[in-house]
Structure 1
């Protein structure tokens, strides 16, 4: 910018020569400069006013357009929102091996109150008690008329209940959207699924978290947004599970048992196709854990299949014989000295019946001789027995995908002495779960390979390390078949399906030590079809008593075996196994065409 001097010499000098006043020139230049400054300020102000005017015009235009849109749209109720950490509400479905829904999500509502906004708190409390009889009217009135600003009333309500609350008309009663976990099959597979509850909760959402079973085991997978739309597929078969639960419930009632469990497992893949524990519960309304008592098994939440640690009785005898066969110590025809009682210090081992002086190894299993089994175990030794049972998975919790399984550590003898070796050979002195037993029998059924049990669907055989030779496994299966055809499990034969298995009856231990005289754990471990086993089934009854005769009968042959046989007859066709029988020709009946 070029500034013009206020007293330019080019004009001052000529003005002096002419006798003019030079100050007038300076005053004139000052007026011209001030006029230029005023003109620039006026132009700048006019520009700013123009921009501000355009801004206000645009704002009024946007507001007008929005008002026009609202005037032409359908009215909706505004929803309150608050800043905070967003709650992940979506949870993946759980399906069975056929893709049928076991657990899914259901949209419902929660009910809460804001007492400062209530018009008639007392009347609102009375109305809520009529809708929800489990609420306490006096407490509601106290909360509504006190200093509380916010109050949860119900975390989940039905559409009918929501409408009834809405009809009360109190503005202080409000609803929030809620996603809840729904188990459409009710009690079916309750112990496997476990159940879910709410974690972080807000007015507009609630976090659903697993509390037990696969819901807790796979909680991270089910809540992972990356798995959205991809369900968790289990190895369970919904139809087989329903049939197994129905039969086991009837068997438990018929045998007057305190509880019961059944595990059905594929011997080649390790898939658990059915797992039942009774009594059970509805995961839609999961009961609270017991707060008193020393026996956890009294709770319906207790999963007997994986958490129940029992002395499984004579079902263990086949392991002693199988190991001896594998080591070449015996053959199926080797004679075993069973003269008794067999004494070890102050302890004596006896048989349930007198079987003579000696039995073959096969007859030891068929007739279930404690002494014969103990004699064989003596030949094996404590270290060998322990190593063999460890290979079958009896010394550690099963690697099964339920949180309850990890805590089921088998009860082992503190000192694995020769006496322990003998008693463990016929199922006393070591407590394990029915799932442990099913896993061990699967190794015999599949030809000698350990298979890890799983609740997830698998494709193809999943063989682990070999724990016995194929010949030892085949000979053991032949012995177990004879147990059904001519031994202690004669009630276990199912027409069309060759069944092999072993009974086990163990006295139930007292919490204070010792054993009950009239309470037992009855177990039948079976595999079918016997000549090419596909499945292992273990049925265990807690304190059964068959009372149709003059005296109660508690042994597994009278209690667990008939229940297992009925279960096999029901579920074998559902598993796709065809009965191996020829149709009979009915006398006097001919087929005539129309």
Structure 2
């Protein structure tokens, strides 16, 4: 093959091709140089692409790392309080003896802010206050200006408040789900159940007892969850509790009293079936719980219990062996101790049998009973029956009784009829239960307790014979004595009145009283003790007096009449205990 063209073209062509002897075309060195240059440029582009990708990966890696870092920091600053609150919040349900819920946990939303992300604190507060009108502007402003990562704004929002705040679209705020304690009965059993604080920790009543009994330790060990907590069953019957509180409200209004209280106690097991003290508070909104008049008077208040204490003076006289129901006392004239004179409120001015001393509530006769037993014997008996020591029970709010530092004869005389010593109404009821149940002192409990468990903790403090005599005297007093207005047909109620003059300006005031009625039923085999108190009652309309027989005794009757069926006591209109007053009175 022959090339046609100029020398220049030939030269150019020679640089690209050559021919073999056989006339075939082959590549020469010029073509190889072209291929090498193309490979060189391709490798360079690939390297640039790899470097660019590496840079992007590094940049996004740094950004991702920072995000993770700030996320962890945010958790440390913001999350710790909420998570801790959630861990601490779980509490067991509290049930009454029949399984009715008295306290339980519910979920609520709480509002928090991230101050370092708040742009305009003033605007934020202004917007939030449209939903939360009671928001503390000054305190909230300090929180939002703090620059911290987390701050609570308001705990326990309602679903409506949460929805309205979410609709505001305020940046830098959020919600956390927390657990809040809820009491379906409101104030019905407030002094028994007690309170929890903002972090759902018990601070009063049985709520505090539950924490002190081990719940706090379980929380500290991280062993508390909603699923792991068994309900706590109390001895309370919420039906009886409701009736009791209702009767106390009516009594306060009827007698224009400043306070009232009551307790229903199982005399055989020591279980508290119901206990209330008014004024009380709503544990769902305890804004007034710490006010002075909201005190739990039944266990945390001490009072001179008036003539109800003659229950124990009489039992002491019988227990001493010095007297029996036929023994007689000279009540013809007052007792005089120096400048002190002991008189009877409604004196008979004659000799009285021990039974008459009780049913006529003779101060003179009670003083002579104490005088015969002696100062040391008197104090020892009251201590044995549990009236002088701080009561042992689950409820934290328990007061210590008050007695003279040194007992003298005059102290023993006045204490015999209920003045000069102060104890709590609840332990007065507990002491009375020992005189009704065969002589066994059983410390009260707010938890369910079986008869076998009660027998293990019971202490024999008087003989069964003394207990039998006291049951008779209780019933007799309700039949013909000062407790007639506590009588409920079919239930054989017995009891003792107590009218104590209160101290005003250092002196006992004749028209300012603290009244009580101590009762038991059914008297042939007493199962329940009922005690009512009413503080500073005024005479009922149309009446001229306000003694315990006119107010505290009817309160007991109303409580028994309405609650006896719930307590499992059936009325019996055929059975009756025949009074023995004739045999004793004529002896």
TM-score (norm 1): 0.78
Q: Write the distance in 1 (CA, Å) between the matches of 2:115 and 2:538.
A: 59
Q: Is the 8 A contact 1:120 1:170 kept in 2?
A: no
Q: Write the distance in 2 (CA, Å) between the matches of 1:136 and 1:465.
A: 56
Provide Cα deviations, 1:262-300, integer angstroms capped at 9, x if missing partner: 01110011000101010010111123665xxxxx7x332
- Matched with 2:42 is none
- Matched with 2:467 is 473
Q: Write the distance in 2 (CA, Å) between the matches of 1:495 and 1:326.
A: 31
Within the candidate set 432, 440, 465, 2:431 is matched to 440
- Matched with 1:66 is none
| Aligned positions of 1:288-327 closer than 5 A | 298-300=292-294, 302-327=295-320
Q: Is the 8 A contact 2:90 2:224 kept in 1?
A: no
- Matched with 1:4 is none
- Any idea what SS the aligned residue of 1:482 has? helix
**Does the alignment pair 1:580 with 2:576?**
no
Q: Write the distance in 1 (CA, Å) between the matches of 2:570 and 2:278.
A: 29
Deviation at 1:485, TM superposition (A): 0.7
Structure 1, unaligned runs of 5 or more: 1-55, 64-77, 199-206, 291-295, 584-594
- Matched with 1:502 is 496
The change in CA–CA distance for 1:84 and 1:143 in structure 2 (over 3 A counts) is closer
- Matched with 2:162 is 162
- Matched with 1:418 is 409
**Does the alignment pair 1:486 with 2:477?**
no
Deviation at 1:157, TM superposition (A): 0.4
| Aligned positions of 1:105-116 closer than 5 A | 105-116=105-116
Q: Is the 8 A contact 1:502 1:524 kept in 2?
A: yes
Provide Cα deviations, 1:482-514, integer angstroms capped at 9, x if missing partner: 11110111111101110000000001123x522
User: Aligned pairs, how many?
Assistant: 491
Within the candidate set 542, 549, 553, 1:557 is matched to 549
**Does the alignment pair 1:452 with 2:443?**
yes
Deviation at 1:520, TM superposition (A): 0.6
- Matched with 2:37 is none
Deviation at 1:175, TM superposition (A): 0.8
Considering only aligned residues, what root-mean-square deviation do their CA atoms show, in Å? 2.5
Q: Write the distance in 2 (CA, Å) between the matches of 1:349 and 1:142.
A: 66
Deviation at 1:582, TM superposition (A): 6.2
- Any idea what SS the aligned residue of 2:510 has? strand
Deviation at 1:126, TM superposition (A): 2.4
- Matched with 2:369 is 376
Q: Write the distance in 2 (CA, Å) between the matches of 1:81 and 1:107.
A: 22
TM-score (norm 2): 0.79
| Greater mean deviation of Cα atoms: 91-100 or 271-280 | 91-100
- Matched with 2:339 is 346
- Matched with 1:266 is 266
Q: Is the 8 A contact 1:222 1:232 kept in 2?
A: no
Q: Write the distance in 1 (CA, Å) between the matches of 2:73 and 2:512.
A: 62
Q: Is the 8 A contact 1:448 1:470 kept in 2?
A: yes
Within the candidate set 418, 430, 433, 1:427 is matched to 418
The change in CA–CA distance for 1:582 and 1:394 in structure 2 (over 3 A counts) is closer
Deviation at 1:543, TM superposition (A): 0.5
- Matched with 2:208 is 216
- Any idea what SS the aligned residue of 1:167 has? helix
Q: Write the distance in 1 (CA, Å) between the matches of 2:233 and 2:342.
A: 48
Q: Write the distance in 1 (CA, Å) between the matches of 2:418 and 2:567.
A: 31
Deviation at 1:135, TM superposition (A): 1.6
Q: Write the distance in 2 (CA, Å) between the matches of 1:322 and 1:574.
A: 31
Q: Is the 8 A contact 2:384 2:461 kept in 1?
A: yes
Deviation at 1:419, TM superposition (A): 1.3
**Does the alignment pair 1:567 with 2:562?**
no
Deviation at 1:550, TM superposition (A): 5.4
Q: Is the 8 A contact 1:311 1:506 kept in 2?
A: yes
- Matched with 2:23 is none
Q: Write the distance in 2 (CA, Å) between the matches of 1:149 and 1:229.
A: 33
| Aligned positions of 1:327-366 closer than 5 A | 327-366=320-359
Structure 2, unaligned runs of 5 or more: 1-52, 61-71, 576-587
